[in-house]
Amino acid sequence: MLWTAPNTALGMVAGSIGVAFGAHAHLRPQDLALVFHRMPWGPGGALTLGNIILHTGDTLDSPCVTYAHRAGHGDEPAIVLADHERAHVLQYMALGPLFLPLYLLCGGVSVRNRFERAADRYAQCGHGWWPW
């Protein structure tokens, strides 16, 4: 967790701003993260920064579609958002400050991004969070 502390600090700043606009936080030990729910931004979903998950909804235990399914690359069953975001927490913990530059170099928020595909794989079967 120390390795990804700079990313976690960014998440804490964003989460703290969200609290001023109605978000609330709680610890999710099973996800190794502090989660800020009801973040007041965008169309929905979640963003992980280190050991912080910023979420627009009420619970991470909700179903969502995979990136491949959303892009029309196949008909895949729904996954649980918490499992997908936990994979990103694990990726951050392994890569620390290298995560964000590598994530962006791999395509950002996109079905082409190996980090997103690995997070979907992990959410589907419980292993395979490593993007390479």
Tokens 């099973």 belong to residue: 30
Q: Which DSSP letter does residue 4 get?
A: T
Q: What is the pLDDT along the chain (132 residues), one digit of tens a residue?
A: 899 999 999 999 999 999 999 999 999 999 999 999 999 987 789 999 999 999 999 999 999 999 999 999 989 999 999 999 999 999 999 999 999 999 999 999 999 999 999 999 999 999 999 999
Q: What is the pLDDT of residue 63?
A: 96
DSSP code string of 61-75: -SEE--HHHHTTS--
**Residue count of the chain:** 132
Q: What is the pLDDT of residue 42?
A: 77
pTM equals: 0.95
Q: What is the pLDDT of residue 129?
A: 98
Handedness of CA 13, 17, 23, 39 (dihedral sign): negative
C-alpha distances out from residue 120 to 15, 50, 65, 69, Å? 24, 18, 9, 10
